[in-house]
């Protein structure tokens, strides 16, 4: 098990190709720490490595409070064992583990949420900087969400969604600067999501993402109100160009 303190695209792509050949025995584990439970990043990497280090795979640090682990756990991994192993390494945290939907490549996704074991009472949200940009990324492909997260995290706060079920409600609460939405979602189309968001806020900045970046799709998205179009594979320069043009 290798450790990377940032997203190493060469290693990531190598493992993804390996996973595709034996997808049924590999998992992607997304470990997220709540703000009140955020540990030292180097310590977190070390502890996660002690949990999974004897298994084939790699640990990638996405941000100081988020880590992605590609690991060969075998068929039908025991979540109770995973939870127990992780909880032992972080005794000051409450650990919850849940199975997420399969990725587009059929890879089993597991979410691990780490919360402070003793949350402070009367915690205040005062001091939150209203100038910090916020981005929503709506895509059922975990790899696309994590790539977008990596590209956007230096620009502001990134919130990920695997489907569109609660996107409008979350938009009302969060009012993100830009919503990046996949053209083809399991429960809807990106155009339909855009229509719903624009009905809520006519000034919403919606950017469509799709591997099918034909002229017809681009023009249709623009005609419906999209402020931009990102093709797959994603281009870092294009992402930053769109962010700059829409947020200044």
Euclidean distance between CA atoms 120 and 233, whole angstroms: 43
Q: Which residues contact residue 167 at a Cβ distance below 8 angstroms, ignoring those fewer than 6 apart? A: 136, 138, 161, 179, 181, 193, 196, 197
Q: 65 and 141 share a domain? A: no
Residue 127 lies inside a defined structural domain of this protein: no
pLDDT of 104: 61
76 occurs within a structural domain: yes
Q: Are residues 61 and 86 in the same domain?
A: yes
Q: Among 112, 137, 143, which Cα is nearest to 23's? A: 143
Q: With bands split at pLDDT 50, 70 and 90, how would you rate the model's confidence at 46? A: confident
Structural domain contains residue 165: yes
Helix (H) or strand (E) run with residue 68 in it: strand 66-71
Q: Are residues 145 and 103 in the same domain?
A: no
Indicate the residue among 84, 116, 148 that finishes a domain. Answer: 116
Q: What is the pLDDT of residue 211?
A: 85
* Domain ranges, residue 16: 2-116
pLDDT band at 241 (very low <50, low <70, confident <90, very high): very high
Give the pLDDT of residue 124: 37
* 112 shares its domain with 187: no
pTM: 0.55
What is the CATH classification number for the domain harbouring 196? 3.40.50.2300
Strands 57-63 and 66-71: antiparallel
- Provide the number of structural domains found in the chain: 2
| The two structure tokens encoding residue 93 | 């945290």
pLDDT given at position 118: 57
Q: Say if 124 falls within a structural domain.
A: no
Q: Where are the alpha helices (DSSP H) in the chain?
A: 9-21, 41-52, 79-89, 142-152, 167-174, 190-200, 215-224, 236-247
Average pLDDT over residues 152-181: 89
Residues 21 and 106 in one domain: yes
pLDDT for the residue 196:
93
Average pLDDT, the chain: 81
Q: Same structural domain for residues 91 and 26?
A: yes
The residue out of 89, 116, 143 marking a domain boundary is: 116
- Asked whether residue 17 is domain-assigned, the answer is yes
- CA-to-CA distance for 53 and 108, rounded, in angstroms? 19
Residues 107, 172 within the same domain: no
Is 72 found in the same domain as 138? no
More confident residue, 79 or 195: 195
54-67: pLDDT as tens digits:
787 888 888 778 88
206 or 166, higher pLDDT:
206
Dump pLDDT digits (tens) for 12-27: 677 777 777 777 778 8
Which pLDDT score is estimated for 101? 59
Within-domain flag for 7 = yes
Helix axes 41-52, 79-89, angle to 10 degrees: 140
Give the pLDDT confidence of 90-148 residue by residue, as tens digits.
Answer: 887 888 888 765 566 566 778 888 887 654 333 333 333 456 789 999 998 888 888 89
125 in a structural domain: no
At 107, give phi and psi (nearest 5°): -85, 130
Asked whether residue 211 is assigned to any structural domain, the reply reads yes
């Amino acid at each position: 098990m290798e450790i990377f303190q940032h997203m190493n695209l060469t290693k990531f792509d190598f493992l993804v190709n390996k996973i595709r050949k034996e997808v049924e025995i590999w998992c992607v584990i997304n470990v997220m720490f709540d703000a009140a439970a955020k540990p030292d990043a180097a310590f977190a990497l070390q502890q996660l490595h002690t949990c999974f280090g004897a298994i084939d795979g790699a640990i990638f640090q996405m941000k100081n409070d988020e880590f992605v682990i590609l690991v060969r756990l075998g068929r039908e991994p025991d979540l109770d064992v995973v939870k127990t192993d992780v909880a032992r390494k972080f005794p000051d945290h409450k650990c919850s583990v849940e199975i997420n939907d399969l990725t587009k490549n059929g890879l089993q996704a597991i979410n691990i949420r780490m919360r402070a074991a003793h949350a402070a009472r009367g915690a205040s949200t005062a001091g939150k900087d209203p100038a910090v940009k916020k981005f929503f990324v709506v895509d059922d492909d975990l790899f696309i969400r994590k790539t977008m997260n990596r590209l956007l995290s230096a620009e502001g706060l990134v919130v990920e969604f695997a489907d569109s079920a609660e996107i409008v409600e979350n938009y009302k609460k969060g009012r993100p600067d830009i919503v990046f939405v996949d053209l083809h979602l399991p429960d809807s189309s990106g155009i339909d999501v855009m229509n719903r968001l624009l009905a809520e806020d006519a000034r919403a900045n919606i950017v469509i993402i799709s591997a099918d970046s034909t002229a017809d799709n681009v023009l249709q998205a623009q005609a419906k109100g999209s402020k931009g179009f990102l093709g797959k594979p994603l281009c870092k320069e294009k992402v930053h160009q769109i962010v700059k043009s829409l947020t200044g």
